Amino acid sequence: MAQEYLDMDTIKYLLYDVHGLNELLAYERFQDHDMESLGLFIDSVKEFADRELFPYFKEMDEHPAYHKEGTVIVHKQVDVMMKKGGEMGLIAAPFDYEHGGLQLPAMAYTTAAYILDAANNHLPGYAGLTLGSAELIVHFANEELNATYVPKMLAGEWGGTMCLTEPQAGSSLSDITTKAIPTDEGYYKISGQKIFISGGDTQYAENIVHLVLARIEGAPAGTKGISLFVVPKNRPNADGSLQYNDVMTVADFQKMGQRGYCTTHLGFGDKDDCRGWLVGEPHQGLKYMFLMMNGARIAVGRGAAAIAMAAYQASLEYANERPQGRKLTSTGKKNPDENQSLIIEHPDVRRMLLLQKAIAEASLSLVLLASRYQDIKQATNDESERNKYHLLLEMIIPIVKTYPSEAGAVAVNNGLQVLGGYGFCSDFILQQYYRDIRISAIYEGTTGIQSQDLLGRKITMENGKALALLAAEIRETMGTASAYDDLKPYAEKLGAKLTLSQEVLNFLMPFAKKGDYERYLADANLFMEFLSIVVIGWLWLDMAIKAKQRLLTGDMNYSEAFYESKIHTMKFYFRYELPKTTGLAESLMDPEALTVKTDKKVFV
């Protein structure tokens, strides 16, 4: 087991130097916070993660959650995560004061959750989904539902889940069939099956509050007929006592990774006694769910970014300690009389470590950027500013979900490879990160779905305004970089890629315009990879600028080497990752359609 799972200096550098958390504190919403109180909060979370999360990471994998007699038995730290985490405000953090929250900036809350994810990615989801389902109630449900459920949820006493997926529908929510029959008593009778419900049941939860998508009898077909309900496992009686609400934990799903974070199959209304309470208006359920989906997607990206970082730390630690082989001499041979080198001295190992560093640190930067957009959007009183950050946020959300998930898995793969045979062995932790991170590209909309969202909705949003705003942000960073002689060439490289992205879109757009959406979106996945690489190049250029400025002014919170390493990693990214866009653009602008189904039989 590795000693460390994080680089707190880099976290603080990104939070303060790069993304300017302090600037946010000028907004009225955050006026009760200051840099010192936020710093203390983050440090206390790290201390909590060190003590209560990280030490149990491996054993939660080795002793997964399991289904037994209608309930799911989880590790005891799940209870600690919920109750102590609740006490610490880890669920209440982003909520308004009036709902019992702390009004913490999303950037600070996200940093806290990232630390927890890096320490032990099997635990934070229990709190995170409770937060997410409480948000749905707070935003869309009536006061009674708020009063009944939210305080218990924010305290970590009751858990919460999101119940979307059904066996026959998968990602296609228009096909869900869970039924809600109105009654005269104000509640609905719920019946149906939901699968892949994370955190759906534990032996510790006094109650679990499910936010369930279902169809009210007679509702229109498709996504327009879906409503949202609060369906508790146990329904509170008038006297505060709890009564079983006919929500059955039918089974669980055993998984390749993240095995301590239970995934359940729930059955509602098997005995015709399952009551659900409508959230907001009928038939608006999917809209509500998706208004809250950004948070869930940032959370997945954040978790993947954190796993990539933890894996990087573990493989760096190994590379710094493991002697093996020797440097090549000028004859191309090795000299056996020399001492062995540490493997971190070999170029190929350095390449794998730099790749991990480039991906892991930029993924965190991306997640914090999204949180910053969220914060400004929420905190500003200026409508045009709100709209700008709303569009920027919408624009990058699919990338925030996808890049850390996909590139993060590549980073962990390289981390495993650094350890050679040991990387494949259960005694070392890399193989667990390798398995755990793999779910990220599936959770909350697969990479395929995110890519369709990016190219199909976000790029075309308000006639391309979201994309134009993003491009303007990138150009601004390029402008700043151009003022520094040694950064200018990188700004130019990035500019060329921005131009290339426009060429790609010019090639694709006519398909959409003539109504051939299938062809337009057929390579959305490649476009996602293409645009992600450009965006990450932008974030690295920005990190390099901020480092350069510190080096030039001498106003340094960290060592000179720390700032130099950021510039070095930017150069690495531009040399090894950015060129991939050239081939991707070549593929994207190839006129031949080979993946759209025709009469020709392809899979023979």
Residues of span 137-166 touching a second copy by CB under 8 A = 165
Greatest extent of the chain over all pairs of C-alpha atoms, in Å: 89
Q: Does 503 bind a second copy (CB under 8 A)?
A: no
Q: Does 475 bind a second copy (CB under 8 A)?
A: no
For the CB of residue 295, give the shortest distance to a second copy in the complex, in Å.
20
Q: What is the dihedral of CA 242, 244, 250, 252, to 10 degrees?
A: 0
Q: Does 66 bind a second copy (CB under 8 A)?
A: no
Give the C-alpha separation, 283 to 222, whole Å.
10
Q: Which of 147, 594 has the CB closer to a second copy?
A: 594
Q: Provide CB contacts within 8 A for 111, sequence distance 6+.
A: 11, 15, 42, 45, 368
Backbone angles phi, psi at 68, to 5 degrees: -145, 120
Instruction: Give the residue, chosen from 58, 139, 179, 255, that forms a contact with a second copy under the rule CB under 8 A.
Output: 255
Backbone angles phi, psi at 500, to 5 degrees: -60, -40
Q: Does 242 bind a second copy (CB under 8 A)?
A: no
Taking alpha carbons only, the member of 144, 397, 214 closest to residue 291 is: 397
Q: Does 463 bind a second copy (CB under 8 A)?
A: no
155 neighbors 90 (Cβ within 8 angstroms)? no
Q: Does 285 bind a second copy (CB under 8 A)?
A: no
Q: Which of 99, 322 has the CB closer to a second copy?
A: 322
Which parts of 521-560 interact with a second copy (CB under 8 A)?
521-526, 558-559
Which parts of 198-227 interact with a second copy (CB under 8 A)?
221-223
Please state, in angstroms and as integers, the Cα–Cα distance from residue 203 to each residue in 248, 252, 279, following that order: 13, 14, 27
* DSSP secondary structure letters along 391-424: HHHHHHHHHHHHHHHHHHHHHHHHHHHHTGGGGG
Instruction: Please name the residue that has the structure tokens 């936020």.
Output: 38
Q: Which of 240, 591 has the CB closer to a second copy?
A: 591
Give the C-alpha separation, 141 to 151, whole Å.
14
Instruction: Give the residue, chosen from 40, 328, 472, 552, that forms a contact with a second copy under the rule CB under 8 A.
Output: 328
Give the C-alpha separation, 62 to 533, whole Å.
36
Q: How many residues lie near a second copy (CB under 8 A)?
A: 114
Which parts of 7-46 interact with a second copy (CB under 8 A)?
none
Q: Which of 472, 596 has the CB closer to a second copy?
A: 596
Q: Which of 221, 238 has the CB closer to a second copy?
A: 221
Q: Does 512 bind a second copy (CB under 8 A)?
A: yes
Instruction: Give the residue, chosen from 97, 244, 290, 517, that forms a contact with a second copy under the rule CB under 8 A.
Output: 517
Q: Which of 244, 424 has the CB closer to a second copy?
A: 424
Q: Radius of gyration of the chain from Cα atoms?
A: 25
380 neighbors 386 (Cβ within 8 angstroms)? yes
Q: Does 509 bind a second copy (CB under 8 A)?
A: no
Q: Does 243 bind a second copy (CB under 8 A)?
A: no
Q: Does 604 bind a second copy (CB under 8 A)?
A: yes
Q: Does 257 bind a second copy (CB under 8 A)?
A: yes
Q: Which of 286, 379 has the CB closer to a second copy?
A: 286
156 neighbors 42 (Cβ within 8 angstroms)? no
Handedness of CA 593, 596, 599, 601 (dihedral sign): positive
Taking alpha carbons only, the member of 224, 220, 214, 228 closest to residue 269 is: 214
Instruction: Give the residue, chosen from 416, 504, 505, 535, that forms a contact with a second copy under the rule CB under 8 A.
Output: 416
Q: Does 583 bind a second copy (CB under 8 A)?
A: yes
Binding mask 181-200 toward a second copy (x if CB under 8 A, else -) reads --------------xx----
Instruction: Give the residue, chosen from 283, 435, 465, 475, that forms a contact with a second copy under the rule CB under 8 A.
Output: 435
Binding mask 340-359 toward a second copy (x if CB under 8 A, else -) reads x---xxxxxxxx-xx--x--
Q: Does 510 bind a second copy (CB under 8 A)?
A: no
Give the C-alpha separation, 570 to 487, whole Å.
10
Which parts of 370-409 interact with a second copy (CB under 8 A)?
409
Instruction: Give the residue, chosen from 87, 175, 206, 281, that forms a contact with a second copy under the rule CB under 8 A.
Output: 175
For the CB of residue 436, give the shortest distance to a second copy in the complex, in Å.
10
Give the C-alpha separation, 359 to 577, whole Å.
10
Q: Does 177 bind a second copy (CB under 8 A)?
A: no
How many other β-carbons are positioned within 10 Å of the β-carbon of residue 270?
A: 13
Span from 28-36, 69-77, 235-243, 327-335 in contact with a second copy (CB under 8 A): 327-335
156 neighbors 182 (Cβ within 8 angstroms)? no
> Looking at residue 221, what DSSP letter applies?
S
